[in-house]
Amino acid sequence: MSQSQETLSNLLQETRRFAPPAELAETANVTAEAYEEANADRLGFWARQADRLTWSKRWDTVLDWSNPPFAKWFVGGELNVAYNCVDRHVEAGLGDRVAYHWEGEPGDTRTITYAELQREVSKAANALLELGVRKGDRVAIYLPMIPELPISMLACARIGATHSVVFGGFSADALRTRINDAQAKVVITADGGFRRGKPSALKAIVDEALKDDSTPSVERVVVVRRTGEQIAENPRDVWWHDLVDRQSDQHTPEAFDAEHPLYILYTSGTTGKPKGILHTAGGYLTQVAYTHYAVFDLKPETDVYWCSADIGWVTGHSYIVYGPLANGATSVIYEGTPDTPHKGRWWEIIQKYKVTIFYTAPTAIRTFMKWGDDIPAQFDLSSLRVLGSVGEPINPEAYVWYRQHIGGGRCPVVDTWWQTETGAIMISPLPGVTAAKPGAAMRPLPGVVADVVDDQAQSVPNGGGGFLVLKEPWPAMLRTIWGDDERYVKTYWSRFDGLYFAGDGAKRDEDGDIWLLGRVDDVMLVSGHNISTTEVESALVSHPKVAEAAVVGSTDPVTGQAIVAFVIPRGSAGEEVEGEGFVAELRDHVAKTLGPIAKPRQIMIVPELPKTRSGKIMRRLLRDVAENRSLGDVTTLTDSSVMDLIRAKLPSAKPED
Ligand code: WT7
């Protein structure tokens, strides 16, 4: 099927379906039977997935849910996460298999086999022990995308220390808040990393975060030399190469309880201080390993897998580090940005390493659409066989573009819905089973019980919309918010009695398939109709000249809220997009696609959209622009000059009605 130019009808009337390729369906790791198996005995199903790991002591009880919403999975079981991710593959004779093909932004590379990873992780574990880190202590990790990042995480897991990775793009204030909340004893950082062709400092930010004794828990700072730039040295600092290189590469892992805290990862959320999402060892590793095997159909002997996320986000924790390594996969890690030194860098990496499975985000896909089809066309992407998407709803048009221009029309695209809190993928097609619809996350995975409910927690019928909830505990679920059980209960389990509310709106179509509609705060109320920003954005992106769109509700005296859209034209659209005619064409296009009620009051043609560092559109800022307010906090923006660019465009974007 090649229909990327076909105009969409309403999302719910989306008729395109992409069946699994015959060969994949025949050889898939997971077949349709898995759903039946899990329905018949959910806990038995998860116990069988846990059995794919190596346990030092088997569990007595699969799930203890006697004190909801505080779950205990694989009660009484003991395992070592790092052993499962590294040593057991070496013991199985796979020491020479590549764990990571690492590619630095400047073009330097490093290939790390499982045997080497075992030695590196053992040395780092011995180093942490020398610094006095013990089971249960917290270690903050603030590193660029270099091998020392997964090595540090695994070293913590190996000795039972709980890591808290802070994304390298965060400010000193954000780092300090997270260090203090977790009471980290050690910070692991680097002099800097490479981004957009230049060294970008990290150690200076750590110094700022730690200054004037503002982080009393921190005893030592370990510094990796990456860029070679000058750094200020402090008595508490120690170079990684001075400390780690001289350690023994032998370390015997100890088994920890299945519920031992593996890591804390902070999500910022819209209000209040960041929430430290706590994940524990056994259930988390079980579900990330299973989902990585099932959703990507991973064949560890032959696949080369690449997830383009930063390890500083949960996607990187679960699907660059823990899931792939638990499965013995060969992965690619890339340090830098997709446009350095040229806009084909990612496709060049896929060509170079013959990547077979690729996992990225809609925001990246839309950027590539904007840059133009001719860029990926210059590279050999024929090794690819499965493509994944995560982070936001994927607009059907972006899905079809991804399938066509990256997947050559032959690779299934799996749209995977999950959250930092869920720890692992929850709703997604299975590439060998599902005839996927572009833009739909489709069905809960085997062993996951999700539903779309109304205000009263009643399941909505097919064709209805409401709130996405999870009805049964799952192995990789967050166990609490670090240090704040009450906030955990209040944030996730109080909106609907006994149900986990994810914060997302969703629809179930006539076939019963699930479409995510974005955060519920992003639903607009226009003349009494609920309209999701995602639907209008997808309608706009289905126009052949539109690369990306963001939609917000702006207060309107007549309709309550009115729809305001910000649109980035496609690279190939050229001059035609400047005039009034183009805006009128787009408004008509939305009216035709979704109905006249969804016609935007105003459309602004802009060069960029404001995004968080994890790639989510900051609608709050756009709402401020739409309502002519002064801008709120822009500190989490990737690039605050974007808002100036949008402001500069304002005069040409006058209301249409
Ligand atoms: C929120 C969670 C999960 C890793 C990255 C984000 C949105 C995520 C999808 C998807 C529609 C999605 C949701 C969710 N989201 N994936 N496939 N379709 N929406 O993790 O930062 O914790 O964000 O991202 O709104 O609640 P996160």
Q: Taking each helix axis as running N to C, give the angle between helix 533-541 and helix 580-594, from 0 to 180 degrees, rounded to the nearest 10.
A: 120
pLDDT digits (tens, 9 = 90+) for 557-582: 888 889 999 999 987 666 666 677 89
Q: 315: annotated binding-site residue?
A: yes
Does ligand 1 come within 6 angstroms of the Cβ of 420? yes
Whether residue 194 contacts residue 336, with contact meaning beta carbons closer than 8 Å, is answered with yes
Measured in Å, residue 407 CA sits from the centre of ligand 1 at 23
Q: 73: annotated binding-site residue?
A: no
Q: What is the pLDDT of residue 420?
A: 97
Measured in Å, residue 262 CA sits from the centre of ligand 1 at 22
Distance separating alpha carbons of residues 90 and 87, to the nearest angstrom? 5
More confident residue, 528 or 562: 562
Q: 111: annotated binding-site residue?
A: no
Residue 655 scores a pLDDT above 50: no
Q: What is the pLDDT of residue 657?
A: 31
Q: How many DSSP H helices and E strands does the chain contain? A: 22, 29
Give, using CA atoms, the residue closest to atom 23 of ligand 1: 419
Q: What is the mean pLDDT of residues 516-530?
A: 83
Give, using CA atoms, the residue closest to atom 20 of ligand 1: 419
Cis, peptide link before residue 261, omega less than 30° from 0:
no
Does ligand 1 come within 6 angstroms of the Cβ of 227? no
What SS3 class is residue 185? coil
Q: What is the pLDDT of residue 343?
A: 97
Measured in Å, residue 270 CA sits from the centre of ligand 1 at 14
395: DSSP letter:
P
Distance separating alpha carbons of residues 139 and 165, to the nearest angstrom? 8
Give, using CA atoms, the residue closest to atom 19 of ligand 1: 392
Q: Which of 9-18, 350-359, 465-474, 477-486 has the lowest mean pLDDT?
A: 9-18
Structure tokens at 353: 């390493």
More confident residue, 402 or 547: 402
Q: What is the pLDDT of residue 608?
A: 87
Measured in Å, residue 479 CA sits from the centre of ligand 1 at 19
pTM: 0.89
Q: What is the mean pLDDT of residues 506-520?
A: 92
Q: What is the pLDDT of residue 635?
A: 60
Does ligand 1 come within 6 angstroms of the Cβ of 267? yes
> pLDDT category, 628, cuts 50, 70, 90?
confident
> Which residues are bridge partners to 64 per DSSP?
72
Helices (H), 137-278: 148-159, 172-182, 203-210, 240-243
Give the largest Cα separation in the chain, rounded. 72
Residue 22 scores a pLDDT above 60: yes
Determine the atom of ligand 1 nearest the C-alpha atom of 519. 25
Q: Taking each helix axis as running N to C, give the angle between helix 619-626 and helix 641-649, from 0 to 180 degrees, rounded to the nearest 10.
A: 30
Distance separating alpha carbons of residues 69 and 479, to the nearest angstrom? 8
Measured in Å, residue 417 CA sits from the centre of ligand 1 at 6
Residue 4 scores a pLDDT above 70: no
Whether residue 550 contacts residue 622, with contact meaning beta carbons closer than 8 Å, is answered with yes
3-state SS of 224-267 is ECCCCCCCCCCCCEEEHHHHCCCCCCCCCCCCEECCCEEEEEEE
Q: 543: annotated binding-site residue?
A: yes
Q: What is the mean pLDDT of residues 361-369?
A: 93
Q: What is the pLDDT of residue 14?
A: 67
Bridge-based pairing of strands 78-79 and 98-103 is unpaired
Measured in Å, residue 128 CA sits from the centre of ligand 1 at 33
pLDDT digits (tens, 9 = 90+) for 293-322: 999 999 999 999 999 999 999 999 999 999
Q: What is the pLDDT of residue 611?
A: 86
pLDDT digits (tens, 9 = 90+) for 206-260: 999 999 999 999 999 999 999 999 999 999 999 999 999 999 999 999 999 999 9
Q: What is the pLDDT of residue 578?
A: 67
Q: 195: annotated binding-site residue?
A: yes
Does ligand 1 come within 6 angstroms of the Cβ of 392? yes
Q: Which residues are CB-neighbours of 339 under 8 A, at least 6 positions away?
A: 196, 345
Distance separating alpha carbons of residues 58 and 74, to the nearest angstrom? 8
Q: Which of 49-63, 384-398, 641-655 has the lowest mean pLDDT?
A: 641-655
> pLDDT category, 634, cuts 50, 70, 90?
low
pLDDT digits (tens, 9 = 90+) for 157-192: 999 999 999 999 888 999 999 999 999 999 999 999
Q: 189: annotated binding-site residue?
A: no
Q: 559: annotated binding-site residue?
A: no
Instruction: Look at the block and give the residue holding tokens 């799930």.
Output: 63
Q: What is the mean pLDDT of residues 263-286?
A: 88
Instruction: Centre a 10 Å sphere on the Cβ of residue 84 and count the other Cβ atoms it contains.
Output: 25
Residue 335 scores a pLDDT above 80: yes
The residue to mutate among 445, 516, 617, 618, having the most atoms of ligand 1 within 8 angstroms of its beta carbon, is 516
Determine the atom of ligand 1 nearest the C-alpha atom of 389. 17
Q: What is the mean pLDDT of residues 463-472?
A: 94
E strand segments, 84-137: 98-103, 109-113
Q: What is the pLDDT of residue 527?
A: 81
Determine the atom of ligand 1 nearest the C-alpha atom of 418. 3
291: DSSP letter:
H
Instruction: Look at the block and give the residue holding tokens 């833009």.
Output: 439
Residue 2 scores a pLDDT above 70: no
Measured in Å, residue 105 CA sits from the centre of ligand 1 at 27
Q: What is the number of residues in the chain?
A: 657
Measured in Å, residue 422 CA sits from the centre of ligand 1 at 10
Q: What is the pLDDT of residue 8?
A: 30
Q: What is the mean pLDDT of residues 386-392?
A: 96
Number of alpha carbons in the 13 Å side-chain half-sphere of residue 270: 11
What percent of the chain has pLDDT above 70? 93
Does ligand 1 come within 6 angstroms of the Cβ of 393? yes
pLDDT digits (tens, 9 = 90+) for 86-143: 999 999 999 999 999 999 999 999 999 999 999 999 999 999 999 999 999 999 999 9
Structure tokens at 444: 């809960």
Does ligand 1 come within 6 angstroms of the Cβ of 516? yes
Q: What is the mean pLDDT of residues 11-32?
A: 88
Measured in Å, residue 249 CA sits from the centre of ligand 1 at 39
Q: What is the pLDDT of residue 629?
A: 73
What SS3 class is residue 358? strand
Distance separating alpha carbons of residues 121 and 54, to the nearest angstrom? 18
> pLDDT category, 269, cuts 50, 70, 90?
low
Q: 587: annotated binding-site residue?
A: no
Measured in Å, residue 390 CA sits from the centre of ligand 1 at 6
